[in-house]
A = this chain, B = another copy of it.
Amino acid sequence: MPTESTKADEVALILEDEIVSGALEPGIVLRQEQLSERFGVSRTPIREALRRLAALGLVTFVPNRGVRVQALSREELREAFMVRAELEGLATEIAASRITPEDLAALDEAERKFSTLTAELRRRALDNGRQDPGLFGEWMRANHAFHDVIYGVAQVPLIERVAKSARRTFMGQTIWTGRAELDELYAKNELQHRAIREALAAGSVAGARALAREHVLASGRLIEAVLEQVGGAPDASERRLREPA
């Protein structure tokens, strides 16, 4: 079997996932030597992977000092949601003009999965007042899956790519505790997904766009509110570059 991908690509994929999922806390410094021995490769592919992540905006290079996981400011977080809102609105509008009955069925299925997960999440949150990070991740994945169906219908790979790169940037910004705002987020998301699905089913092009746009903006506002309460901690961004051994 000939090589179909390079070490640098594999490392980049893994690190990307870890940063997006929050496993790598924003602000921490990545040491090339550590990554090198962790992945069992030399520093060369590590550096190439880091360059890629830097281009995606997930880490920043500080020449001769190191790379650190990028922490988004409150402002940048808002921007990321604005970008997503516009692009998901656009994609949804395009999807509205192309959608077929089979697509609608797939959308239904995604919505159903999302609903059951939402119910489970809300129930558990009421029980112990605290989110299960794993379950929250599941929920977020299902949430994204719903929109991914729409992207699939719209068939706009470039728009999809750009929007998803904005989507990544907000995850792992904080620990998700069981705030009341989160419950509102769950409830509203469900309602809004349903509304979007109906607009798509009705072929309401302008309506679908507006609903999708407003949906993302609303989610952004709520997440912002959650972060506001959790604390103004822009995390470890102030931490010194050179960690004590």
Q: Are A63 and B157 in contact (CB under 8 A)?
A: no
Given contacts A55-B56, A57-B161, 10 further A-B contacts (CB under 8 A): A3-B63, A3-B64, A5-B63, A48-B48, A53-B55, A54-B55, A55-B55, A82-B90, A158-B169, A162-B162
Chain B residues whose CB sits within 8 angstroms of the CB of A5 once the complex forms: 63
Main secondary structure of the interface of A (DSSP, over half): helix
A8 to B76, CA, bound (A): 26
8 Å CB interface, A123-179 against B: 156-159, 161-162, 165-166, 169
How many copies of this chain does one complex carry? Answer: 2
Contact digits for A35-55, partner B, Cβ 8 Å, 1 yes 0 no = 000000000100111011111
Contact digits for A49-83, partner B, Cβ 8 Å, 1 yes 0 no = 10111111100010110000000000010011011
Which of B6, B56, B61, B90 interacts with A6 by CB under 8 Å? B61
8 Å CB interface, A1-47 against B: 2-6, 8-9, 44, 47
- Which residues of A are interface residues toward B (Cβ below 8 A)? 2-6, 8-9, 44, 47-49, 51-57, 61, 63-64, 76, 79-80, 82-83, 86-87, 89-90, 156-159, 161-162, 165-166, 169
